[in-house]
Amino acid sequence: MFSLLQIIIGVYLLYSAITGKGKVLENEFLKVPREEYVKKLRILAAISGTVLTVSSGLEYAGVIVPRSTLSWIAWGVGLASILPMMIYSSRSTDKEAAKANQATTAQSAAPKKDQLRAAFVFDDEEEPADKTTDPGK
C-alpha cells in the first residue's frame, strides 16, 4: 500500500518536472529569481520522481520483497531523494516576507463588527420577574 502511494508521488513529481506545473513549484516569497527557482526545482523533482517511481514500482511489482532490507533501503533512498527539494525550497523562501504576509492576512481575516447590529444588541439581560413573590412586601 505504501509503495503505491510512493508511486503516485513519484509520478506527480515527474509530471511537475516535465510540464512545469504543480503546487510543488509554487512559492510567492522567493529570495532568488523565479526562473532559477523553478528550473532547479524541476531538476530535483525529475530526479526524485524517477527514484521514487522506480524503487516503489519494483517493490509493488514484487521484484523487491516488501519489508526486506532491500525494501527499507529503497524507501530510504526515496525519502532521501525528496530532501534536497525541501531544503532548496526552504532556503529559497524569504521567511520574513512570508511572516509579514501571514500577519496581514490574519488581520484582514479577523471578523469585523457590524455597526448596525451592534446598535441593537444589548449586553444586559433582564431578569424575569418572579411572580410568586410580592414586591411590595
Q: Is 88 exposed, middle or buried (0-12, 13-18, 19+ CB in 10 A)?
A: middle
Residue 50 C-alpha cell reads as 524517477
Q: How many CB atoms lie within 10 A of CB 95?
A: 11
| DSSP-assigned letters across all residues of 39-97 | HHHHHHHHHHHHHHHHHHHHHHHTSSPTTSHHHHHHHHHHHHHHHHHHHHHHHTB-HHH
Cα separation, 12 vs 104, whole angstroms: 33
Spell out the domain ranges in the chain.
2-20+30-95
| pTM (two decimals) | 0.69
pLDDT in tens, 17-64: 999 898 988 888 888 899 999 999 999 999 999 999 998 888 888 888
What is the tens place of the pLDDT at every residue in 97-125? Answer: 878 877 777 666 555 555 555 555 565 66
